[in-house]
Structure 1
Amino acid sequence: MTVEHTKAKFWKCALQVNPASYITYRGQNQDCSEDDYNKKLLEVCLEESIKVVGIADHGNVDSVAKIRETFNAQGVIVFPGFEIATSEKIHLVCLYPEDTSIQTLNNYLYEFDIDTSNGTKPSTKSADFILSTVIEKGGFVYAAHCTDDSGVLKQKLNNIWKNQNLYAAQIPTSLEALKEQGDQANHQILQNKNPDYKREKNIAIINAKDIEDPETLRKENATCLVKMSKPCFSSFKLAFSDSESRVRLNSDIKEKYYSRIESVRFVGGFLDGININYSEHLNTLIGGRGTGKSTLIESIRYVLKIEPISKETKAQHLKVIKQNLGSGFAELTVKSAVKHGKLYKISRRFGESPIVKDESGSISTFSPLDLLPNIEIFGQNEIHEIAKESSEQLKVVERFLNTDKIEQESGISTVKESLVTTRNNITGCSGTVILATH
């Protein structure tokens, strides 16, 4: 079955997965076969919605083929690679495109002077050489356990930290947790606030955990979230070029109910047959003149029964709807925060009132603004009017201001209270004077 990916979303990635043999590095015996271990790994990945795994055995890639075959059959993407120690004895995880052959991976290990029979032995090559070579070959590198033993920050190697080929650094928990644990020095470095470690671009912070047991994948700090349209290596690398918006720790994202438009579809009219599923985050309409961008915006406004700000723009809005919606209708699927994340469908024909239906398909008594009370829509003509009217510009700005707080902090609220008191006193005195004259 072909799966279409039409919008970007955060995919859960486990970027330091080890094979069944890894446990022997820790002086323990593996109780299950390689095949059983791989099946268990896959089972946990599917249960935990892990879509991408990076293989990071120490200086060896013998396990990659079986893991890749098992996982790919179930739609889990595998980035083959390895973890190695540099000549400075810091650990780096090197990942490569999903179709990289085992022979090619072994060639890379040979180039780094790694003895695959003793994968934990440090390379004779420097971190700078390894970083530049991996990037040159189309790969990706992150600093493993950077704040712990064999980590670049633990070793205080600021020259390596500042290398722009190092895109990401793995930390054990979260930035906030590091600060709470008293690791203020590394907290400052990771936020790019230490001048000795200052980078041109902030490094991406990730969670990944040496997976010695499939169950370890269930831990919050064993995976991180990477925003991609299609989960693949090229999208993965691209995400790290904008890591501030596209890379997250699991601890960064808590379930929150926020209102959004999930989709819109049209039956009849100019946009007949159009069915758009929106991203959970920013969406942008791009198209030439006359392709329907304004029609789409005005149709959404019409379905939600939100009128433009002036008579002129209202008349233009209704004209657009009449010409382009015609006898057809538009339907929105929305998620409502005020209704605890429940889904509703709102549809409307020209000249009729909106119809709201709940998830069961039953007609609801809620109005569109009951579901999305704070939604704001600005059409092209409205934006032109706002640009011409200072009073309308002020209204736009006021939405972002906490007027009560500003008045309180500036003393305006105190002055207002004094004026009210003075007015009441004047009113009282006026009444007394009137009584005295009688």
Structure 2
Amino acid sequence: MPADKNLRQVLAQPSGARFYRCALQVNPCAYLKRHSKPLPCADEAEYNRLVVEACKASDVEVIGVTDHYRIRESVSLIQAAEAAGLAVLPGFEAETKDGVHFLCLFEPGTEPDQIEAKIHDCGVHSDNEPSPSGKYDCEELLAEAARWGVMCIAAHVTTEKGLLRVLKGQTRARVWRHGSLIACSIPGHTEDTPQEFRDILVNKDVNHRRNRMLAVINAQDISSPADVAKLGAITLIKMSKVGVEGLRQGFIDPATRVRLIGHPEATPHSALLYIGWQGGFLDGSELRLNGNVNVLIGGRGAGKSTLVESVRYALGLSPLGPDAQKNHTGIVQQALRSATRIRLLLRSHRPAEKHYWIERTIPNPPVVKDETGNVLNVRPQDILPGIEIYGQHEIAELARSPEKLTGLLRRFREGDPALENRKSEIRRRLETSRIRILEIRKEIGLVDEKLAGLPALQETLKRFQEAGLESKLKSQTLLVREEKIVATLRDRLLPFQELMAQWRDSLPIDRQFLSTAALDGLPGAAILQRGDAVLEKFNTEAEAALKAMARAIEEAQAGIGRIEHEWQKRKEASTAEIEHILREVQKTVSRLDASEFVRLRKQIEDLQPLSGRRHTLVNGLEAAFQERNSLLLEWEEAKAEFARSLERAAKKVTKKLAGVVRVNVAPGGQRDPLFALLRDEVGGQLQATIERLSGRVDFSLPEFVSACRGGTARLVESFGLTQTQSDRIAKATEETFLKMEELEFPTPTGLQLNLAGEGQPPIWQDLENLSTGQKATAVLLLLLLESEAPLIVDQPEDDLDNRFITEGIVPKIREEKERRQFIFATHNANIPVLGDAELVATLKPDGAGHAAIPPEELGSIDCAAVRDNIGEVLEGGREAFEIRRLKYGY
């Protein structure tokens, strides 16, 4: 078994397309000498070294070396740059016979002889002129460059010798719209160019409008080390492999693959960076993932679903619906199998970027480790909260549940971020309150049950008193009272003994969170460290107080013991006298049982303190209800605040998906929890009641509970229920009403999808009236919005059609991809092609119960192997094939 790769090894693996900082117009030292420009150093070698160092200092990774119709004098600079680890696109700057400059860039490693042959082809055979002109005009040069397989960029188009400056009228428009011209360079940002050129650059000028907007890059002349850091010298271009094809793909799709310095950069976000398997269907396979759009392709049975469910299993996440759960369980049992080990690498960016390993061996729970492999006491969900994973058809299953749809709105909520925690805390306190109230009511019932016999006992005592027995047995009566007092002495210590036990369990307070290791790296560690001394002092003093309390209780118990011992002697001395009195009384009052009187007096003495206890309990019950009423007000306000936040979220999503999806919520509209409680606690024929309560628009739960406590007549009057059902509900227990008060009604979410074509008046259709594919489209559009956590979807096209993918889904993927990671398993070409996937991974089964992910076939569509796989494996709509024609040349 191969050793696990460490963090450095994994991060060093290729992960598809990424942005490279490119300086595509670097001049050699000879250019400066030829044009009498000031030299920044003594000789060519020093110039090369300084320029390369300046590139490295500015994080430039790719340069184009483009002297005017020359290559031989660029060789030393090319070699110096390559030796320093830079990728070099060799080439030359051409000037057409109509006076326009173009950059011609060749594949890295192209021999100077090959490039020189193209220079000769342009009609330039001599180095005598500083800046010669070629034999081709603009259109001819563009056509030749396409035939050569090189990248031809219109250089500094808004300045001297630039296409837009030199050419005029129809000639300029024709060249600008030429099919082989896909990129131009300007000195800075488009918004800073002269107004006469700005509309042309942004493709708004009617005479120059192109089917696909030209890529606008920065590639100003670099003729000294200082030029590298100047605005306009560097462009970020996204490629998976540096080369002409990488540039071509970037320029064809500049919206996602070209970024000028100073333009907004990608938003930091969490991501799944790596997955590897030991055992199971994908044994020995691994995949380094991209932080943006990843697409898994392959024929049926290649393992795409296995990969998706592997991630879900490793993170310990459960599918949302029963069908998805069944599919997940089947894949884990049959494809992954017992003893298979799955290893993930996650990147979390809050509060600072950090990496975590997640390892899970079937069927054991997941284990979280830090970057160096130390086991952490956290869950995967704590590391990557909010990650969403949907298996095959799971989105369609989700669309059938209005309550689960509401869960999708939660991440769009604004306001108090702790509201849900506050709701949970209030719910917990209400439950505690209910238990306390029911305990008090139960104790009051027990006390009342005992006190119910007191009047009869007192009446019997009265007859004894009328017979004169009490005066004769006064000493016995007083002895009974004393005995009760002695017994009460120990009872009074019980609460303190219980409190002592609680204190012992809580001490000493754990101070590990204030240790030097725990505070390491915190700017305020010196301040926080003082808390350790505070808690240490508290522990010492609390332990001392605990010991003092223990001594006090021990001394009190000893004192009570002495009192009990002394009183017991008194009782024994009095017993003989009392027994003599009882015998005398029995002789004189033969019709009365003196011993019965003694027992009666003892019973009454035992019961009389219960009256005080009942009074205390009643007061406690009243206080408990008052506290609960305050909690209920908090509860109702928290629920209302949460509902308002969902309504705001629905409006926010509707605005973001304007003209495509509308979202609405119905707070309190789903009352099933109440109906379930009535069925369980009340029973009977409830259908009419449920229909009545369901149809009530202004239903108030507190008002309904109050009516239940108010009795049958109030339920009939206020809610229009039948006499029989009202009577049954009104007779429910107080526990039922308390539970009823604590209910929270789910807020169902409704979606509407616009079925009209582009440019047509909207046709809004409710979710329940849509086809399965249309439902899935509406839900997927919600899933694609605003989240920092990854979204993983297995074959979304199974429930979608191509029009909705191209018009709705793909634009959202492109819009969000710099802010969020996406992983799609698919058979549809629209997603990797139109969505411009940064990484396409092909899974291939070997026919023997195993599949692999060939590393040589990983990359973006600028890789030939990836393009071949997309063409062979995937199916797509007309637009996908059209863009493939542009991207693949067929």
Q: Secondary structure at the match of 1:54?
A: strand
Name the structure, 1 or 2, with higher relative contact order (CA <8 Å, separation 6+). 2
Match of 1:83 in 2: 93
CA distance in 1, matches of 2:322, 2:192: 55
Deviation at 1:46, TM superposition (A): 3.6
Deviation sequence 1:238-284 (CA, Å, 0-9, x none): 43333333222233353632111010112233322222100122111
Structure 1 partner of 2:174 = 159
What are the equivalent positions in structure 2 for 1:365-404 lying under 5 Å apart?
A: 365-383=377-395, 385-386=397-398, 389=400, 391=402, 403-404=647-648
CA shift at 1:423, angstroms? 9.2
> Could you tell me how far apart the structure 1 residues matched to 2:153 and 2:118 are?
16
Matched with 1:10 is 19
1:317-332 matches, within 5 Å, as: 317-323=328-334, 324-332=336-344
Q: Post-superposition shift, 1:172?
A: 1.8
> In the superposition, relative to structure 1, how do residues 362 and 221 fare at CA in structure 2: closer, same or farther (>3 Å)?
farther
Task: Return the offset for 1:220.
Answer: 5.3
**1:187 alignment partner in structure 2:** 198
State the distance in 2 between where 1:85 and 1:250 align. 27
Residue equivalent to 2:107 = 97
Q: Where does 1:120-159 land on structure 2 (aligned, <5 Å)?
A: 120-155=131-166, 156=168, 157-159=172-174
The secondary structure found in structure 1 opposite 2:297 is: coil
Q: 1:288 to 1:67 in 2, by over 3 A?
A: same
Q: 1:176 to 1:262 in 2, by over 3 A?
A: farther
1: CA distance, partners of 2:699 / 2:327: 47
SS of residue paired to 2:80? helix
Does the alignment pair 1:45 with 2:55? yes
Q: Distance in 1 between matches of 2:153 and 2:306?
A: 46
Q: What is the CA–CA distance in structure 2 between the aligned matches of 1:335 and 1:317, rounded to whole Å?
A: 25
Q: Say if 2:215 and 2:252, in contact at 8 Å, map to a contact too.
A: no
Match of 2:365?
A: 353
% identical equivalent positions? 31
Distance 1:266 1:27, change over 3 A: closer
Alpha-carbon distance between aligned partners in 1 of 2:133 and 2:361, rounded to the nearest angstrom: 70
**Partners of 1:257 and 1:336 within 8 A in 2:** no
In 1, Cα distance between equivalents of 2:192 and 2:153: 21
Counterpart of 2:207 in 1: which secondary structure? helix
Cα root mean square deviation, aligned:
3.4
Q: CA deviation at 1:345?
A: 1.2
Residue of structure 2 equivalent to 1:301: 312
State the one-letter code of the partner of 2:375.
Answer: I
Q: Is the 8 A contact 2:151 2:247 kept in 1?
A: no
Q: Give the structure 1 partner of residue 375 of structure 2.
A: 363
Which is further off, 227-236 or 130-139? 227-236
- Which position in structure 2 is the counterpart of 1:21? 30
Q: Per-residue deviation at 1:400?
A: 9.2
Which string of whole-angstrom CA distances, capped at 9 and with x for unpartnered residues, describes residues 86-113 of structure 1? 2332221111223433333333333333
- For the structure 1 residues 304 and 85, does the alpha-carbon distance in structure 2 shift closer, same or farther, using more than 3 Å as the test? same
- Give deviations 1:364-420, integer Å, cap 9, x for gaps: 343222222221100114245347x3748956985897851654999x99x99xxxx
Aligned 8 A contact 2:367 2:375 in 1: yes
Instruction: Tell me the distance in 2 between the aligned counterparts of 1:326 and 1:215.
Output: 61
CA contact (8 A) 1:59 1:118 kept: no
* Whole-angstrom distance in 1 between the partners of 2:152 and 2:122: 14
1:336 has 2:348 as partner: yes
CA distance in 1, matches of 2:411, 2:196: 35
Q: What secondary structure, in the 3-state scheme, does the structure 2 residue paired with 1:116 have?
A: coil
Looking at structure 2, the residues matched to 399 and 164 of structure 1 have their Cα atoms a distance apart, in angstroms, of 47
- Are 2:55 and 2:61, in contact at CA under 8 Å, matched by a contact in 1? yes
The answer to whether 1:173 aligns with 2:188 is: yes
Equivalent-residue separation in structure 1 for 2:373 and 2:30 (angstroms): 53
- Per-residue deviation, residues 176-205 of structure 1 (Å, max 9, x unmatched): 454xxxx44433222211111101211112
* TM-score, normalisation: structure 2: 0.43
One-letter identity of the residue aligned with 2:376: S
Cα 1:109–1:382 change in 2 (3 A) is: same
Classify 1:292/1:105 alpha carbon distance in 2 versus 1 (closer, same or farther; 3 Å).
closer
Equivalent pair of 1:348/1:355 in contact (CA under 8 Å): yes
Give the equivalent residue in structure 1 for 2:740: none
Superposed CA deviations along residues 33-92 of structure 1, whole A, max 9, x for unmatched, are 112212223333344443322111123223222223333334423222111322332221
- Cα gap change, 1:316/1:138 in structure 2, threshold over 3 Å: closer, same or farther? closer
Q: Which amino acid is 2:339 matched to?
A: S
Residue number in structure 2 paired with 1:199: 210
2:854 paired residue number: none
| CA–CA distance in structure 2, aligned partners of residues 227 and 45 of structure 1 | 18
Letter in 2 for 1:11: Y
CA distance in 1, matches of 2:128, 2:404: 69
Alignment of 1:415-430 (within 5 A): none
Q: Distance in 2 between matches of 1:368 and 1:151?
A: 55
TM-score, normalised to structure 1, is 0.83
- 1:138 Cα deviation from its structure 2 partner: 1.4
The answer to whether the Cα contact below 8 Å between 2:343 and 2:357 also exists between their aligned partners in 1 is yes
User: Greater shift after overlay, 51-60 or 111-120?
Assistant: 111-120
* 2: CA distance, partners of 1:406 / 1:378: 22
Deviates more, 1:106-115 or 1:283-292: 106-115
Distance 1:337 1:220 in 2: 30
Shift of the 263–210 alpha-carbon distance from structure 1 to 2, 3 Å rule, reads same
Supply the distance in 1 between the matched residues of 2:65 and 2:324 (Cα, whole angstroms): 57
Q: Which sits farther off after the overlay, 240-249 or 301-310?
A: 240-249
For the residues of structure 2 that align with 1:31 and 1:204, how far apart are their CA atoms? Answer: 35
- Picking from 321, 338, 342, the partner of 1:310 is 321
Helix, strand or coil at the partner of 1:128: helix
CA distance in 2, matches of 1:299, 1:236: 35
1:267 and 1:27, CA in 2 relative to 1: closer, same or farther beyond 3 A? closer
CA change 1:334–1:45 in 2 (3 A) is: same
How far the C-alpha of 1:325 sits from its partner, in A, is 4.0
Q: 1:358 to 1:137 in 2, by over 3 A?
A: same
Q: Is the 8 A contact 1:89 1:122 kept in 2?
A: yes
Contact 2:91 2:115 in 1 (8 A): yes
The answer as to whether partners of 1:51 and 1:231 remain within 8 angstroms in 2 is: no
The amino acid of 1:118's aligned partner reads: E
Name the counterpart of 1:216: 227
CA 1:153/1:50 → structure 2, altered by over 3 Å: closer, same or farther?
Answer: same
Which position in structure 2 is the counterpart of 1:419? Answer: none
Q: Secondary structure at the match of 1:285?
A: strand
The 1:85–1:359 alpha-carbon spacing in structure 2 relative to 1, beyond 3 Å, is same
The structure-2 alpha-carbon separation of the partners of 1:257 and 1:70, relative to structure 1 and needing over 3 Å to count, comes to: same
Deviations for 1:290-336, whole angstroms, at most 9, x for unmatched residues? 22211111110112222111233224323322331411321211111
Q: Is the 8 A contact 1:60 1:119 kept in 2?
A: no
Cα distance in 2 for partners of 1:18, 1:372 equals 47
- For residue 164 of structure 1, report the CA deviation from its aligned partner: 1.9
In our comparison, the structure showing a higher alpha carbon Rg is 2
Output the CA distance in 2 between the equivalents of 1:52 and 1:248: 15
Q: State which drifts further: 160-169 or 377-386.
A: 377-386
Secondary structure class of the residue paired with 2:347: strand
Residues 28, 71 of structure 1: alpha-carbon distance in 2 compared, 3 angstrom cutoff: closer
